[in-house]
């Protein structure tokens, strides 16, 4: 790493919550874009890694939600 002065000059953007529009775009754009870089360019302020992590977080939650609903449906039969 560089000197303390160099490290201190690096600017870190504060995290902002994902909007519903950003999440919808992310979930639907995965099929039409070829890379996380392309997706992140369409979402200002979002990094490639941030997009990838958020996508998989949403995917796990969504799939887990469907699985939980199926289990509940079986219990109520």
Q: Is the pLDDT of residue 8 over 70?
A: no
Neighbours of 51 (CB within 10 A): 25
The per-residue pLDDT for range 20-74, each reduced to its tens digit, is: 999 999 989 988 998 999 999 999 999 999 999 999 988 877 776 666 666 656 6
pTM here is 0.63
Contact predicate 56/73, CB 8 Å: no
Neighbours of 46 (CB within 10 A): 19
Alpha carbons within 13 angstroms on the beta-carbon side of residue 8 total: 3
């Amino acid at each position: 790493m560089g000197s303390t002065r160099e490290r201190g000059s690096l600017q870190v953007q504060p995290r902002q919550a994902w909007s519903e529009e950003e999440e919808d775009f992310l979930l639907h754009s995965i099929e039409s874009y070829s890379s996380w870089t392309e997706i992140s360019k369409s979402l200002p302020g979002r990094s490639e890694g941030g997009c990838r992590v958020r996508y998989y977080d949403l995917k796990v939650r969504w799939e887990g939600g469907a699985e939980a609903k199926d289990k509940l449906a079986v219990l109520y039969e």
